Chains A and B, each alone.
Chain A
Amino acid sequence: MGETRTLREAIIYNDLAGIVGYDHVSQDEVTRQAYVSDLSWLGRTWPRRGWPTTKPDFIVWPETTEQVSQVLQLANVHKVPVTPYCGGAGVQGGTIPLYGGIVLDVKRLNHVLKIDERNLTVTSQTGIIGQDLEWTLNAKGYTYAHIPQSSYCSGLGGFLAARSAGVLSTKYGKIADMVLGLEVVLPSGKIIRTRPVPRTAAGPNLNHLFLGSEGTLGVITEATLAIHPMPEERRFRGIQFPSLHAAMEGARKILRRGLRPAAMRVSDEIEGRVLYKQEGSLMIFCFDGFKELVDLEERGAIEIAKAEGGADLGPEPGERWWKHRYTIAYPTDKGALAALGPDALVVGGVIDTAGSFDYLEAVHEEMGKAVNRIRGTIFLAHFSHWYKTGGMMYPYVLNTSAKSEEEMADLYFKLQRAAVDAILKLGGTINHHHGIGLTLGGFMKDEFGAGFGTLQDIKRVLDPNNIMNPGKLGFEGR
Chain B
Amino acid sequence: MELKMVERTARLCARCSKMCRHVCTTHAVTRSEVDTPNERCAIAYRALERGEFLPWEVPYMYEKCATCGLCLVWCETELDASDVMLAARADIVNQGLAPRAALAVNKSVVEQGNPHGEPREKRFAALAEEIATLPDKAEVLYFVGCDTLYRQPEAARVAIKVLQAASVDFTVLKDGELCCGEPQHLLGFWDASQETARQNVALIEKSGAKRVVFTCPSCMKIMKDTYPKWGVNLPEGVELLHMTQFLQELLAEEKIALRKEVAKRVTYHDPCDLGRRQGIYDAPRAVIQAIPGIEFIELQFNRENARCCGAGGGLGGTNLGLVIETSKTVISLAQDVSADILITACPTCKTSFQRHTNRCDGLDTLDIVELVAMALGTSGI
A30 partner residues in chain B, CB cutoff 8 A: 34, 43, 56-57, 60
For the complex, is A230 an interface residue (Cβ under 8 Å from B)? no
- Interface size for B (C-beta < 8 A) is 30
Asked whether A127 and B17 contact (CB < 8 A) given A139-B300, A153-B22, the answer is: no
For the complex, is B20 an interface residue (Cβ under 8 Å from A)? yes
B249 partner residues in chain A, CB cutoff 8 A: none
Query: A128-159 vs B: 1/0 string, CB under 8 Å?
Result: 01111001000100000000001011000000
Q: Contact between A332 and B18 (Cβ–Cβ < 8 Å)?
A: no
Whole-angstrom distance between the alpha carbons of A131 and B79 in the complex? Answer: 20
Q: Contact between B76 and A327 (Cβ–Cβ < 8 Å)?
A: yes
B interface: dominant SS = loop
Q: Contact between B16 and A330 (Cβ–Cβ < 8 Å)?
A: yes
Whole-angstrom distance between the alpha carbons of A40 and B57 in the complex? Answer: 26
Whole-angstrom distance between the alpha carbons of A88 and B36 in the complex? Answer: 12
Query: B11-54 vs A: 1/0 string, CB under 8 Å?
Result: 11101111111100000001111100001001100000000000
The interface stretch among A102-110, A166-174, A404-412 is A102-110
**Cross-chain contact of B39 among A34, A107, A110, A331 (Cβ < 8 A):** A34
Q: Contact between A29 and B56 (Cβ–Cβ < 8 Å)?
A: yes
For the complex, is A87 an interface residue (Cβ under 8 Å from B)? yes
A139 partner residues in chain B, CB cutoff 8 A: 300, 336
Query: A408-431 vs B: 1/0 string, CB under 8 Å?
Result: 000000000000000000000000
Whole-angstrom distance between the alpha carbons of A33 and B21 in the complex? Answer: 17
Q: Contact between B31 and A127 (Cβ–Cβ < 8 Å)?
A: yes
Asked whether A153 and B77 contact (CB < 8 A) given A28-B56, A88-B33, the answer is: no
Asked whether A330 and B19 contact (CB < 8 A) given A34-B33, A61-B31, A108-B31, the answer is: yes
For the complex, is A35 an interface residue (Cβ under 8 Å from B)? yes
B300 partner residues in chain A, CB cutoff 8 A: 135, 139
B21 partner residues in chain A, CB cutoff 8 A: 87, 129, 152-153
Whole-angstrom distance between the alpha carbons of A29 and B11 in the complex? Answer: 21
Closest residue on chain A to residue B46 by CB atoms:
A33
**Cross-chain contact of A89 among B17, B39, B74 (Cβ < 8 A):** B17
- Interface size for A (C-beta < 8 A) is 39
A77 partner residues in chain B, CB cutoff 8 A: none
For the complex, is B206 an interface residue (Cβ under 8 Å from A)? no
Closest residue on chain B to residue A130 by CB atoms:
B22
For the complex, is B8 an interface residue (Cβ under 8 Å from A)? yes
**Cross-chain contact of A105 among B12, B31, B39 (Cβ < 8 A):** B31
Most buried by A among B13, B57, B76: B76
Nearest-CB distance from A225 to chain B (Å)? 18
**Cross-chain contact of A333 among B12, B22, B34, B43 (Cβ < 8 A):** B12
Q: Contact between B22 and A129 (Cβ–Cβ < 8 Å)?
A: yes
B18 partner residues in chain A, CB cutoff 8 A: 87-89, 152-153
For the complex, is A59 an interface residue (Cβ under 8 Å from B)? yes
Asked whether A34 and B31 contact (CB < 8 A) given A152-B21, A152-B74, A326-B19, the answer is: no
Whole-angstrom distance between the alpha carbons of A342 and B14 in the complex? Answer: 12
B31 partner residues in chain A, CB cutoff 8 A: 61, 105, 107-108, 110, 127
Whole-angstrom distance between the alpha carbons of A331 and B71 in the complex? Answer: 14
Q: Contact between A331 and B32 (Cβ–Cβ < 8 Å)?
A: no
A326 partner residues in chain B, CB cutoff 8 A: 19, 76
For the complex, is A194 an interface residue (Cβ under 8 Å from B)? no
**Cross-chain contact of B16 among A26, A108, A130, A331 (Cβ < 8 A):** A331
Nearest-CB distance from A83 to chain B (Å)? 12
Q: Contact between A39 and B17 (Cβ–Cβ < 8 Å)?
A: yes
Nearest-CB distance from B249 to chain A (Å)? 35
Whole-angstrom distance between the alpha carbons of A323 and B221 in the complex? Answer: 32
Nearest-CB distance from B13 to chain A (Å)? 7
For this complex, 12 residue pairs linking A to B, each with C-beta atoms less than 8 Å apart, are A28-B34, A30-B56, A30-B57, A31-B34, A61-B31, A88-B18, A88-B33, A129-B22, A130-B22, A132-B22, A152-B22, A153-B17
Query: Which 9 residue pairs of A and B lie closest in terms of their CB atoms, listed nearest first?
Result: A107-B31, A34-B34, A331-B12, A34-B33, A153-B18, A330-B76, A129-B22, A331-B15, A131-B22
Q: Which residues of A contact B (CB under 8 A)?
A: 26, 28-31, 33-35, 39, 44, 48, 59, 61, 85, 87-89, 105, 107-108, 110, 127, 129-132, 135, 139, 150, 152-153, 326-327, 329-333, 342
Question: A28-B34, A30-B43, A330-B75 known; 6 other A-B pairs, CB under 8 Å?
Answer: A33-B34, A35-B33, A105-B33, A107-B32, A329-B17, A330-B19
